[in-house]
């Protein structure tokens, strides 16, 4: 397993919830934010400026260029919706929230007959393509990417809770849906990375500092199933994606990555893992000794804890990961009232560890 | 004579058809409906709840067990009504405003029903006004609120404040839960209870009514 070594020692990434951007800086996240070329580019620049002005002194986004860049997706947000939208789920866009997917609740029959999408005929994909083409015409190139979710996440958006019933009582039906989603994801990711060179900065910004070409598959919903069920039903799709989309990583934001780590260890060629807050980091490191572990801090705790407590938590997390040259720290989806002091606490704690390593 | 443990075990395996059949058989054998409920269906759901809490089973297994429970309850309900068996309490439940996630809330609902509560489900994206109206209309013992997002959990405070303004706060116990919620947060906003998982929610709810 694994040759990933970060160019930035102990990279740190912060992602704020739209509420933070809206309440503190007036940015809105309606549909135009994602699909209108002019608004897209303007909002992207504004976000970079805000981050640099507010946190540049902490070293965050310090080297960001403050010029308009043709960025096709929201790489400063956690916003997974587009694959579900492509499959026909209704999406609610709002000024202060990430796009929310309305579960489609497809029937047994619809599930049994579902087919991979033809991107050339897909309305949502064509809207994205139009955005890409417009930006390319104007700038000559495009950058950035769009969160492409994950197989079980999208299955839940399409089938609702019934996907869990299928996984126990009708595995043929579940596999058909997973396979269809995986095929669509593959085609979508290949398109995006062929245009921009990346696919997953929008899933976790840490990869920007390690290897921006990593393709990060979101396994947010895997927290709800047993390791046996993951390995029986979903591992094959992760394997398939992993073979096609190299370099490959897994985003496991649930609090039980340690129970799924053995399954993930069976994914040859997956070298990067987002480790959800509450997971047993020591156990993950033991099972994935050479992988890059990107440790996620709790955004709820970031709101309420004192800086000392945040520093203490970060120290504990880093100590448990052991291989610090293969470790990152991130905190994603922080709300409007997260104190800047807590951001600084993370930055300073990580800086201490960087110094220790360099000595 | 049917052993009610068989109903409990079949329910835990999620075999809805068989549970329905066994409940019918028990009624035919003139087993008291309350016994079928308590020593068959509720016992089965309680066991599933404990296993869920201990990470021995996961969401899919709880869902299929709950379906089996419903299959049994559909047969049993009219008989329970005839014999005057009542629910142990009433809960109004919903996911707070701005939050469309419902799996956690649905699991809690299932575990509460499995524990013998009547549950009125307000769905997702429920405003403070809607929670207050439901308390006025249904007179529940407990109001349950769920939030998955750190950015929507703050709306729980608004609900509690609205209950106070409507002078309903003393009439109902408020329980909260969801991924970002903690005991500390529950205390901070003045909720009566916090449960870290669906099974604990059912256990904690019982303490408020028994």
CA distance B93 to B105: 8
Structure tokens at B102: 């419902």
Mean pLDDT of A291-308: 94
- With CA atoms as reference, the chain B residue closest to A335 would be B151
Cα distances (angstroms) measured from residue A233 to each of A175, A227, A293, B96 = 7, 10, 24, 33
Q: Which of B71, B150, B152 to mutate to test the interface with A (most CBs of A within 10 A)?
A: B150
A2: in domain: no
Taking residue A5's Cβ as centre, other Cβ atoms within 10 Å add up to 14
Give, for A217, the enclosing helix (H) or strand (E): strand A215-218
pTM of the model: 0.92
DSSP state letters, A146-170: -----HHHHHHHHHTTHHHHHHHH-
Is A346's pLDDT higher than 70?
yes
A4: in domain: no
Q: What pLDDT, on a 0 to 100 scale, did the predictor assign at position A3?
A: 53
Cα distances (angstroms) measured from residue B20 to each of A16, A169, B6, B32 = 49, 17, 12, 16
Does A226 touch chain B if contact means CB atoms closer than 8 Å?
yes
Q: What pLDDT, on a 0 to 100 scale, did the predictor assign at position A64?
A: 81
Contacts of A259 in chain B (CB under 8 A): 55
Q: What SS3 class is residue A327? A: strand
Min CA distance, B159 vs chain A (Å)?
19
- With CA atoms as reference, the chain A residue closest to B16 would be A169
Size of chain A, expressed as the number of residues it contains: 359
Contacts of B185 in chain A (CB under 8 A): 300, 304
Q: What pLDDT, on a 0 to 100 scale, did the predictor assign at position B100?
A: 86
Q: In terms of residue numbers, what domain contains A352?
A: 12-358
- Which of A88, A8, A3 shows the shortest CA–CA distance to A330? A8
Is A281's pLDDT higher than 50?
yes
Mean pLDDT of B92-119: 92
Count of domains forming chain A: 1
Mean pLDDT of A146-162: 96
Cis peptide before B137 (omega within 30 of 0): no
CA distance A112 to A5: 43
Cβ of A19 and B151 within 8 Å? yes
Question: Which of A100, A225, A333 minimises the CB distance to B100?
Answer: A100
Is B204's pLDDT higher than 80?
yes
Mean pLDDT of A209-236: 96
Cβ of A225 and B59 within 8 Å? yes
CA dihedral B137, B140, B142, B143 (to 10 degrees): -10
Inter-residue contact B121 to B76 (CB < 8 Å):
no
- Which of A64, A86, A82, A65 shows the shortest CA–CA distance to A73? A82
Average pLDDT, chain A: 95
Contacts of A304 in chain B (CB under 8 A): 184-185
Q: State the angle between helix axes of A151-159 and A235-244 in degrees (0 to 180), rounded to the nearest 10.
A: 120
Does A17 touch chain B if contact means CB atoms closer than 8 Å?
yes
Q: A5 pLDDT band (50/70/90 cuts)?
A: low
Min CA distance, B30 vs chain A (Å)?
32
Question: Which of A161, A299, A300 minimises the CB distance to B63?
Answer: A161
Contacts of B61 in chain A (CB under 8 A): 168, 226
Is A180's pLDDT higher than 90?
yes
Q: A1 pLDDT band (50/70/90 cuts)?
A: very low
Q: What pLDDT, on a 0 to 100 scale, did the predictor assign at position A328?
A: 97
ipTM comes to 0.92
Does A97 touch chain B if contact means CB atoms closer than 8 Å?
yes
Size of chain B, expressed as the number of residues it contains: 210
Which phi-psi region, left, alpha or beta, contains residue B49 (left: φ > 0; alpha: ψ -120 to 50)? alpha
Q: A106-118, pLDDT tens digit by residue?
A: 999 999 999 999 9
Q: What pLDDT, on a 0 to 100 scale, did the predictor assign at position A68?
A: 94
Inter-residue contact A142 to A195 (CB < 8 Å):
yes
Domain at A79, CATH number: 3.20.20.210
Does A169 touch chain B if contact means CB atoms closer than 8 Å?
yes
Contacts of A95 in chain B (CB under 8 A): none
Q: A40-60, pLDDT tens digit by residue?
A: 999 999 999 999 999 999 888
Q: What pLDDT, on a 0 to 100 scale, did the predictor assign at position A6?
A: 58
Contacts of B63 in chain A (CB under 8 A): 161, 164-165
A211: in domain: yes
> What percent of chain A shows pLDDT beyond 90?
92
Q: A4 pLDDT band (50/70/90 cuts)?
A: low
Residues of B engaging A, defined by a Cβ cutoff of 8 Å:
14, 55, 57-61, 63-64, 67, 98, 100, 103, 106, 149-151, 153-154, 180-182, 184-185
Tokens 């068996």 belong to residue: B85
Mean pLDDT of A322-332: 95
Cβ of A336 and B184 within 8 Å? no
């Amino acid at each position: 397993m694994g040759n990933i070594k970060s160019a930035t020692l102990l990279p740190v990434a912060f992602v704020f919830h739209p509420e933070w951007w809206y309440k503190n800086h007036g940015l809105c996240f309606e549909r135009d934010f994602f699909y209108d070329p002019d608004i897209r580019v303007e909002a992207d620049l504004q976000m970079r400026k805000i981050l640099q002005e507010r946190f540049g002194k902490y070293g965050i986004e310090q080297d960001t260029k403050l010029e308009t860049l043709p960025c096709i997706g929201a790489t400063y947000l956690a916003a997974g919706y587009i694959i579900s939208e492509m499959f026909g789920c209704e999406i609610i866009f709002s000024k202060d929230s990430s796009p929310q997917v309305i579960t489609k609740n497809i029937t047994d029959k619809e599930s049994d007959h579902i087919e991979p999408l033809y991107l050339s005929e897909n309305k949502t994909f064509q809207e994205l393509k139009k955005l890409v083409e417009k930006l390319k015409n104007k700038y000559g190139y495009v950058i950035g990417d769009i969160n492409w979710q994950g197989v079980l996440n999208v299955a839940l958006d399409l089938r609702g809770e019934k996907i869990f019933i299928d996984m126990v009582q009708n595995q043929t039906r579940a596999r058909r849906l997973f396979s269809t989603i995986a095929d669509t994801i593959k085609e979508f990711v290949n398109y995006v990375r062929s245009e921009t060179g990346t696919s997953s900065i929008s899933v976790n910004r840490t990869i920007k500092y390690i290897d921006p070409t990593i393709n990060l598959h979101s396994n947010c919903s895997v927290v709800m199933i047993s390791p046996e069920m993951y390995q029986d039903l979903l591992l094959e799709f992760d394997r398939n994606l992993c073979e096609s989309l190299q370099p490959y990583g897994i985003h496991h934001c649930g609090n039980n990555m340690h129970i799924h780590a053995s399954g993930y260890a069976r994914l040859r060629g997956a070298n990067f893992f987002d480790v959800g807050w509450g997971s047993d980091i020591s156990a993950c490191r033991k099972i994935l000794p050479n992988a890059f572990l990107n440790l996620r801090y709790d955004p709820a705790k970031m709101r309420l804890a004192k800086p000392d407590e945040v520093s203490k938590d970060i120290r504990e997390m880093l100590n448990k990961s052991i291989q610090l040259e293969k470790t990152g720290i991130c905190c994603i989806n922080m709300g409007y009232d997260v104190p800047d002091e807590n951001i600084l606490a993370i930055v300073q704690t990580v800086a201490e560890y960087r110094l220790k390593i360099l000595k | 004579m049917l052993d009610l443990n068989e109903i409990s075990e079949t329910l835990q395996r999620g075999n809805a058809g068989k549970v329905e059949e066994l409940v019918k058989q028990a009624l035919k054998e003139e087993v008291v409906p309350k016994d079928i409920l308590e020593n068959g269906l509720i016992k089965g759901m309680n066991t599933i709840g404990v296993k869920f809490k201990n990470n021995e089973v996961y969401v899919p297994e709880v869902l299929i067990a709950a379906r089996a429970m419903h299959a049994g309850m559909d047969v049993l309900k009219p008989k329970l009504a005839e014999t005057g068996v009542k629910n142990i309490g009433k809960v109004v439940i919903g996911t707070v405003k701005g939050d469309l996630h419902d799996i956690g809330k649905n699991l809690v609902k299932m575990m509460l029903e499995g524990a013998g509560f009547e549950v009125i489900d307000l769905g997702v994206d429920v405003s403070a006004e809607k929670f207050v109206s439901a308390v006025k209309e249904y007179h529940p013992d407990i109001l349950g609120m769920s939030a998955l997002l750190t950015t929507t959990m703050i709306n729980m405070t608004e609900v509690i404040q609205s209950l106070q303004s409507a002078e309903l706060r003393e009439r109902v116990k408020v329980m909260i839960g969801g991924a970002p919620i903690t005991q500390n947060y529950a205390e901070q906003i003045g909720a009566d209870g916090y449960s870290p998982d669906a099974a604990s929610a059912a256990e904690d709810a019982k303490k408020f009514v028994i």
